Amino acid sequence: MNPQWVANRLSDPNLILVDATLPPVGIVPVIDTHARYLQEHLPGAVFFDIDQLSDHTSGLPHTMPTAESFGASMEALGIAKNATIVIYEQVGVFSAPRALWMLRAFGANDVHLLNGGLSAWKSAGFTTENGEVKRPAAIFPAKLKPGAMTTFVELQSKIASHEQILDARAKGRFDGTAPEPRAGLSSGHMPGATNTPFTELTSEGHIQSPEELSAYFAGKEIDLSQPATTTCGSGVTAAIVLLALELAGANNISLYDGSWAEYAQKPEATIEKSV
């Protein structure tokens, strides 16, 4: 979605705007994206805290919560399952696709990305607001869609059957020549995986066009008609690759939620290096 499309519908009560900005990785001190949301956001937007909405019992970062927990959280935020939901982030393309995937995975069907996010909104000359937004409680009966999320056991089966696996991490981490940011984890990649760094799918804060993405995946010898599973370090940027696949025309796609943070801890997991 572009800013004009959103601006034309601001008065629509069925439209819900959502800021889903995670702090950028590697920036010290950590950027308080909720504080930035309070300072400036799209009119009526609520804040979707991916960290807070994750399963904190898993021992892994950003793990999907239970359907019951997610549904209750959405209802408290005032996000209805049948609403038109537009997700954006404050700068760049990093975490908003993860929020988009979570909402769709739990049954919301009319969910979109504001391409370019807050920066594009302001560049188009549209106004912003500040302060917390409290919406009335909504109805969100969450249920995880079959196939939306891949588990480690399912991933092992996909590796064995040579299904397409797309890894969003940087090339050095994929190759095994650069360290993982999480202590104790080996870098490298899953057998048969293809490296598709998420930074190659975006440009100047926007996700690329369907035509550009189709050409990119063709160059990587990805068959868009065949099943594909996306992965990354913690399950966040894997959602960028998944969205890019969808925009390019793929429809049998899944996200490995545990991603490398889980995979590299498993003693039975095979890790390959391109060295």
Q: Where are the beta strands (DSSP E) in the chain?
A: 15-19, 46-47, 84-88, 111-113, 149-150, 164-167, 194-195, 202-203, 206-207, 228-231, 253-256
Mind telling me the catalytic residues? Answer: 232
Structure tokens at 195: 């490296």
From residue 264, how far is each of 43, 116, 118, 180, 190 by CA, in Å?
42, 33, 35, 10, 9
Angle in degrees, CA 183, 189, 195, rounded to 5 = 115
Q: In 3-state terms, what secondary structure has residue 123?
A: helix
Q: Where are the beta strands (DSSP E) in 38-191?
A: 46-47, 84-88, 111-113, 149-150, 164-167
Nearest to 64 by CA among 21, 112, 104, 102: 102
Which amino acid is it at 58?
A: S
Q: In 3-state terms, what secondary structure has residue 86?
A: strand
